[in-house]
Amino acid sequence: MDLKDKTILVVGGAGLIGSHVVEQLLHEPIAEVLVYDNFSRGTRENLAEALRDPRCKIFPLGGDVCQTDILDQAVARADAVVHLAALWLLHCHEYPQSAFEVNIRGTFNVLEACRKHNIRRLVYSSSASVYGDAVEEPMTEDHPYNNWTFYGATKIAGEHMIRAYHKRYGLNAVGLRYMNVYGPRQDYRGAYIAVMMKILDCIDRGEQPVVYGDGSQAYDFIEVSDVARANVCALKSEQPFGFYNVGRGIKTSIKELAELLLELTGSDLGIRYEPAGQTFVTNRVGDPVAAKRDLGFEWTIDLREGMQRLVDWRDSHKAEVEERRQLANA
């Protein structure tokens, strides 16, 4: 899809990934980026830089995917839609009914509005949670659904609704299965990325960072700017339909992550190991080949550079980080 002079609606555009997608889109020759967000997790501070560009606007009537009449008005203004709005893993675990309303019914509402207004392109934020623990590595897009979480179930439902809408109505749609996304503006609510914020909190207090179990739990970490570029690549691609991994295809253990953060901060505190608690997934790494082949997406930021960016952002946004910490503990 040619983005020149197009209006792109970013549903959930004030969150960690969404705000970076908005910024990436402003590097394209678009006419307008319209942010649709209810600010339940995203923040206006996340959009501060983007809103300096007159092409970026927050939809003034609201931003809830469950409010179908307001959502309909926003979609009517768009040429293409990026749908990122969702309740996160732990929230879905604790409040499955709310997760159903937002992640499943909300996605259906987005699909209906896209169908009604003949949207030319939909990019859907899915998740590597659809895979669960790896049965084989690296996980290609044909990896079986080994998910046991309600969050993963909502993402599987979203994928299959999109599949049906593509088949019946010809909706051009691409779903992106994010691996473990981290970076500037992240909060403490991600089940797998909050660990790095908590490690840095410990280092700031002069305490040994805590790693649960033996630290062998391993994931595919990808920096949020790369994830944002993947969304733009998916918008610009001519691929009519499909679901793609967005990751680096490189597995890093929690122990290795903690050691890297200790090194980057110049700390010699070492690691304190404690018994493992609740863990949803312990082993996951995605195959990035299909996204490169069909969408033209390749990651560019390695883990060391990405973690340094996160450390630098925390150091320059201390008040904001403290506010996010308090919100997570409320």
- Residue ranges and CATH numbers for the domains of the chain are 7-181+221-246 (3.40.50.720), 182-220+251-283+301-329 (3.90.25.10)
Question: What are the Cα distances from residue 96, in Å, to 82, 109, 211?
Answer: 24, 18, 28
Q: Which of 124, 131, 151, 244 is catalytic?
A: 151
Does the active-site annotation cover 151? Answer: yes
Q: To the nearest 10°, report the CA torsion of 223, 224, 230, 233.
A: -120
Q: What pLDDT is stored for residue 199 in this prediction?
A: 92
Q: What pLDDT is stored for residue 49 in this prediction?
A: 96
Cβ neighbors of 176 (< 8 A, separation 6 or more) are: 123, 124, 125, 126, 227, 230, 231, 234, 243, 244, 246, 291
Q: What pLDDT is stored for residue 209 in this prediction?
A: 93
Q: What pLDDT is stored for residue 55 in this prediction?
A: 98
Residues 74-92 have pLDDT tens digits of 999 999 999 999 998 888 9
Q: Region of 90 please: left (phi>0), alpha (psi -120 to 50) or beta.
A: alpha
Q: What pLDDT is stored for residue 90 in this prediction?
A: 86
Q: Mean pLDDT for each 10-residue chunk of the chain (330 residues)?
A: 98 97 98 97 95 98 98 98 94 94 98 98 97 91 95 97 98 97 85 80 94 91 98 97 98 96 96 80 91 98 97 90 75
Q: What is the residue type of 32?
A: E
Residues 182-204 have pLDDT tens digits of 999 988 766 556 889 999 999 99
